[in-house]
Amino acid sequence: MELLRLSALLLFIPTAYGDVTSLANNLPINPFANSAIIALPDSCAFSGKTGRLYVFDSSNTRIQDLPINVPQCRLKRNLIVVDNAQNGNMDTVNVGYQITGLNASSAYSAQYVFDTTTFDRANFTTQNPIKTLPATFARSGGMVVITVLLSIAMFLLVVGLIVVLVLGGKGAK
Same domain, 152 and 94: no
- The total domain count for the chain is 2
pLDDT of residue 40: 72
pTM of the entire structure?
0.48
Same domain, 96 and 120: yes
Percentage above 90 pLDDT, the chain: 10
Residue 19 forms part of a structural domain: no
Q: Report d(CA 39, CA 43) in Å as an integer.
A: 12
Tell me which residue range forms the domain holding 121: 27-125
Same domain, 64 and 119: yes
Residue 77 forms part of a structural domain: yes
pLDDT digits (tens, 9 = 90+) for 109-163: 888 888 888 888 888 888 777 665 555 656 677 888 899 999 999 999 999 999 9
Same domain, 119 and 40: yes
pLDDT digits (tens, 9 = 90+) for 43-52: 677 777 888 8
Stretch 45-71: mean pLDDT? 84
Q: Report d(CA 96, CA 122) in Å as an integer.
A: 13
Residue 165 · residue 4 · CB < 8 Å: yes
Same domain, 82 and 147: no
